[in-house]
């Protein structure tokens, strides 16, 4: 359950992080799209406003100025200018016509021109004269050409263009000036600068000169800086920048024909506030998921632990000796576990009963073995022999037999152990054979050839000596003694599979029949000769009945030289 909870927690954190990043990206994109839509609407309004001003300029030039003689039809020109002014006076501040020398030719409304301004040095006049084919829009400035007697100063944006003035039969160049009321553009920009989140919009021309800025007073006082030149020359419409350590997102769009730039400045705090809302939403969602996960974990843990607790209680009662049935229930795995425990307990009970029975039988067999080992005839004969030796004053032999008899019975008892080491078994056999040799006056010899590894080495009895060590051990048995051993049988250790494999050996009847058949062949071979079996054949019988072929003779010759056989070995 802990692993499940940890994995679930990691998954929830990953999901929360992904959701947070996804929602943050979507929120940022939504803010950018909303601002872009707002900018598009504003640009459309400003363009309509500028197109209207351009249409006024075109109407003045093409419908009035071009169609009239300024020297003889000044009243017509003035009347046309008055008509256009009155129709658009909410957006216009003044209309004026100047000749190329900067002299005022006509103006509407009719006011007195100030004496100090040099018109030819005005920016709008120079732009118009330098680029005659275009209509030029200036940056906002205070109108300083006319005095209407109210001592008021108006902020205007000047639209200027070069026009041809007809004077009798001659034409001359002049400049048509249309002063637009700056407040019209300011009202449009004020409408989109109502957000109190630090976001704002401003206008600049293609050179970065500010046309409108909601913080114009702070800019004029040097309390605030604006990277308007960077915005005017930016190649990307959306980019990030840092101004006075503040991270900001900038969106730039261009107003048609004029080349003005509408710039949206979004402090990163806008996104941060949105991200804070998203964080709270994600945290609440994670909290709800955690509560659901806790409830699910609780239900799952109860569903899993309840059968396990019942199984544990039944096992505990069983271990305490109570007759308790092992509980089987719950999920498939727990049911399988319960059945396995019940089966194992049954097997343990059966095994314990079998062990008790085997121990009982073992005690019986030990007693029987002990009784069989203490053979009265062997004991009586041995004691009689000792008595005769003592009476015959053969005390050394009597002491030897008594010590061998004591060692024999000491090993037979083996402190109650049914399994003894090969070393003790060898000592037991040597003690018995030593007693028999004394009794029968050394009429036979016996030798025990057992590797030291079997006596003292590895518990499994498997020899771990090198082949060289084995050869050295076997070399300890003298050649004459080996020459008199007719049959040498190696008895290798058997593994578990060989011991437990079902035996499929021949029956005694089959072996007896085979032996009898072999004996019948031998009797037929030897006839009336004293030789009864092959084992009793002498050199003369070997030469008669076992004549070697030339090939066998050569093979025997090689074996005789290689194995250093004796004459007895050759016959055997």
pLDDT one-digit tens code per residue, 257-309: 788 899 999 887 776 666 666 677 778 877 887 788 778 877 877 777 788 88
Range in 96-110, 213-227, 394-408, 487-501 with the lowest mean pLDDT: 487-501
Higher pLDDT, 371 or 132: 132
Are 338 and 328 within 8 A, CB to CB? yes
Residues in the chain: 572
Rounded mean pLDDT of 497-515? 78
Q: What angle do CA 244, 249, 253 make, to 5 degrees?
A: 120
Rounded mean pLDDT of 324-334? 77
Q: Which residues contact 566 (CB under 8 A, 6 or more apart)?
A: 479, 483
Give dist(CA 417, CA 362) in Å, integer.
10
Residue with tokens 């599979």: 497
pLDDT value at position 559?
Answer: 75
Give dist(CA 423, CA 564) in Å, integer.
34
Rounded mean pLDDT of 401-425? 73
Lookup: tokens for 261: 């730039």
Give, as one character, the DSSP assignment of residue 256.
T
Q: Which of 23-27, 167-171, 184-188 has the highest mean pLDDT?
A: 184-188
pLDDT of 459 higher than 50: no
221 to 14, 229, 375, 557: CA distances (angstroms): 50, 19, 133, 131
């Amino acid at each position: 359950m802990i692993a499940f909870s940890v994995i679930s927690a990691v998954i929830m954190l990953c999901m929360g992080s992904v959701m947070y990043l996804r929602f943050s990206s979507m929120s940022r994109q939504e803010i950018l799209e909303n601002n872009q839509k707002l900018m598009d609407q504003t640009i459309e309004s400003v363009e309509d406003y500028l197109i209207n001003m351009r249409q006024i300029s075109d109407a003045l030039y093409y419908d009035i100025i071009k169609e009239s003689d300024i020297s003889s039809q000044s009243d017509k020109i003035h009347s046309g200018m008055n008509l256009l002014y009155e129709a658009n006076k909410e957006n216009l501040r003044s209309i004026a016509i100047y000749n190329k020398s900067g002299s005022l030719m006509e103006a509407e409304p009719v006011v007195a021109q100030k004496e100090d301004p040099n018109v030819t040095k005005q920016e709008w006049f120079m732009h118009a004269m330098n680029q005659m084919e275009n209509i030029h829009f200036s940056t906002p400035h205070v109108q300083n050409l006319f005095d209407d007697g109210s001592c008021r100063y108006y902020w205007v944006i000047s639209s200027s263009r070069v026009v041809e003035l007809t004077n009798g039969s001659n034409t001359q160049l002049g400049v048509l000036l249309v002063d637009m009321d700056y407040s019209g553009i300011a009202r449009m920009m004020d409408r989109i600068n109502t957000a109190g989140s630090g976001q704002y919009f401003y206008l600049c021309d293609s050179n970065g000169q500010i046309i409108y800025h909601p913080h114009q007073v702070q800019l004029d006082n040097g309390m605030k800086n604006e990277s308007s030149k960077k915005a005017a020359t930016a190649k990307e419409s959306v980019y990030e920048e840092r101004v006075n350590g503040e991270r900001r997102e900038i969106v730039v769009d261009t107003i048609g024909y004029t080349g003005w730039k509408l710039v949206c400045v979004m402090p990163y705090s806008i996104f941060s506030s949105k991200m804070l809302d998203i964080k709270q939403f994600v945290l609440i969602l994670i909290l709800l998921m955690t509560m659901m996960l806790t409830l699910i974990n609780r239900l799952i843990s109860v569903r899993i632990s309840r059968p396990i607790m019942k199984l544990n209680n039944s096992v505990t009662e069983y271990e305490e000796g109570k007759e308790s049935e092992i509980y089987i229930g719950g999920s498939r795995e727990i049911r399988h576990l319960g059945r396995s425990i019940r089966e194992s307990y049954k097997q343990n009970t059966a095994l314990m009963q079998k062990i008790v029975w085997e121990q009982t039988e073992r005690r019986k067999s030990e007693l029987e073995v002990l009784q069989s080992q203490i053979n009265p005839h062997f004991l009586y004969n041995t004691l009689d022999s000792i008595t005769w030796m003592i009476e015959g004053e053969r005390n050394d032999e009597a002491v030897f037999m008594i010590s061998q008899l004591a060692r024999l019975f000491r090993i037979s008892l083996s402190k109650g152990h049914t399994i003894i080491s090969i070393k003790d078994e060898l000592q037991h056999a040597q003690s018995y054979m030593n007693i028999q040799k004394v009794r029968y006056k050394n009429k036979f010899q016996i030798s025990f050839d057992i590797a030291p590894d079997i006596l003292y080495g590895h518990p499994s009895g498997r020899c771990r000596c090198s082949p060289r060590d084995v050869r050295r051990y076997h070399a300890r048995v003298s050649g004459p003694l080996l020459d008199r051993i007719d049959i040498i049988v190696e008895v290798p250790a058997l593994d578990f599979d060989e011991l437990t494999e079902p035996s499929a050996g021949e029956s005694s009847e089959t072996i007896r029949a085979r032996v009898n058949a072999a004996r019948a062949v031998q009797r037929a071979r030897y006839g009336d000769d004293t030789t009864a079996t092959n084992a009793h054949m002498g050199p003369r019988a070997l030469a008669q009945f076992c004549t070697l072929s030339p090939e066998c003779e050569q093979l025997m010759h090689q074996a005789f030289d290689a194995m250093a056989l004796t004459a007895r070995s050759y016959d055997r």
